[in-house]
Amino acid sequence: MPQPETTRKRTRDPEAKRTAILDAARATFAELGYERATIREIAKRAGVANGLVTLYFSSKENLFIAAAAPQQIVQNVVGDLEGLPRRVASSFIQQMESGELAESFTALLRSSTSDRSVARELQRAMREQSITAYRQVSSDDDAEAKVEMIVAVLNGVALGRYVLADGLLAAMSPEEVIDRTTELLRTVVLG
């Protein structure tokens, strides 16, 4: 019996394969950590050939960076400066709640205590994207330092709520976490 049209289309679609590889990469890095995760294992979970992973992402390090970079957050930065803190906070927390970003974040933490260079590359990629996005919103001279402090706040909240996952920060509603994170980001962005 031939496969239904939609399934055949899907598996032939390069964008769908790319997404499948990124999803498999996030799950594998989070489960095994950066060092133990292999391209072979990621390809197997994504249901694609090893060569395709290398064709799309060239190296495990690049794949890790692509899988972990929270690109939607950066896209959501664009808009008015006054509303920026809440846009960033809700975009970040919502993606963490869905589990999508939480896996990458745990993988980042795990790799940061073993192989620092990968965690640094990832942070560098995120930082550059964030600074570029921030500059579209504000002509602030202090943009780089502000982006650093925004990242520090988001990392600290994520560590408490999703990695240690204990205590009041883990018990709060997503809305309360967004409100409290927004307050902190307002201080960074608006002084």
Catalog residues that contact its own copies under the rule CB under 8 A.
Answer: 33, 106, 109-110, 112-114, 116, 119-120, 123-124, 127, 144-145, 148-149, 151-157, 159-160, 163-169, 172, 180, 183-184, 186-188
**Measuring CA to CA, which residue among 111, 123, 126, 89 is closest to residue 34?**
111
CB of 183 to its own copies, least distance (A): 6
Place of tokens 């240690």: 164
Specify the residue, 53 or 185, whose C-beta has the smaller distance to its own copies.
185
Question: Residue 53 or residue 111: which is nearer to its own copies going by CB?
Answer: 111
**Which residue is associated with the tokens 């589990």?**
99
- Which alpha helices (DSSP H) does the chain contain, by range? 5-12, 14-36, 39-46, 50-57, 60-68, 71-77, 84-97, 100-114, 116-137, 143-158, 167-171, 174-190
166: left (phi over 0), alpha (psi -120 to 50) or beta: beta
DSSP per residue, 110-159: HHHHH-HHHHHHHHHHHHHHHHHHHHHH---TTHHHHHHHHHHHHHHHHI
Comparing CB distances to its own copies, the nearer of 66 and 151 is 151
* Shortest distance, position 77 Cβ to its own copies, whole Å: 18
**Nearer Cβ to its own copies, position 90 or 106?**
106
Nearer to its own copies, 44 or 127 (CB): 127
CB of 181 to its own copies, least distance (A): 9
Min separation Cβ 18 and its own copies, Å: 27
**Closest distance to its own copies from the beta carbon of 99 (Å):** 16
Q: What distance in Å separates the CA atoms of residue 65 and residue 69, rounded to the nearest whole number? A: 6
